[in-house]
Amino acid sequence: MHHPTATLTGEKRDAVYGFLVEHLGGLGDVRIAINRGDFDTARRLAREFAEDFRLMDDLGWGPDDRSEVPLTIPSGELTAIFERLRADARGALIERADERESREDDEASRRRYHLTLDTGTELLLELRTRRGST
């Protein structure tokens, strides 16, 4: 078993998990990009989805009631993943403000995006602090 690189609370795990599940709904976009001959986009998406799947291995593949969830991805990789997740969450928040779907769905999504953004910020700070002290 790998030693934890970082730990998420259960609430933060659930937010990141929901965000990843939503992102993984775009798996078909890889095929679409390939069919269009846009191999750079296909390659980028494939890498993102591979990162998502790796993070899902730590978060668990379904509902989870753990109060703390250890992340075992090496620090450098975890930093890159959460930098992307923060950027994606920030972008989703901007898009949501423009779209306005049903009020309940909008509130739940916005909360998940904010919590994912906050989680990424806190985790990146923790990883950078550890790196600086070694």
**Domain-wise residue ranges, the chain:** 6-133
**CA-based torsion, 13, 17, 23, 24: positive or negative:** positive
Looking at this protein, which amino acid is placed at residue 109?
Answer: S
The model's pTM: 0.80
Residue-wise burial string across 82-121, b where 16 or more C-beta atoms lie within 10 A, e elsewhere: bebbbebbeebeeebeeeeeeeeeeeebeebbebbbebbe
pLDDT of residue 110: 79
- Inter-residue contact 54 to 73 (CB < 8 Å): yes
pLDDT of residue 133: 64
- Reading the block at residue 67, the tokens are 């109060």
pLDDT of residue 100: 53
- Inter-residue contact 6 to 131 (CB < 8 Å): no
pLDDT of residue 134: 56
- Inter-residue contact 116 to 85 (CB < 8 Å): yes
Q: Which stretches of the chain score pLDDT less than 50?
A: 98
* Number of CB atoms found within 10 A of residue 76's CB: 11
pLDDT of residue 96: 55
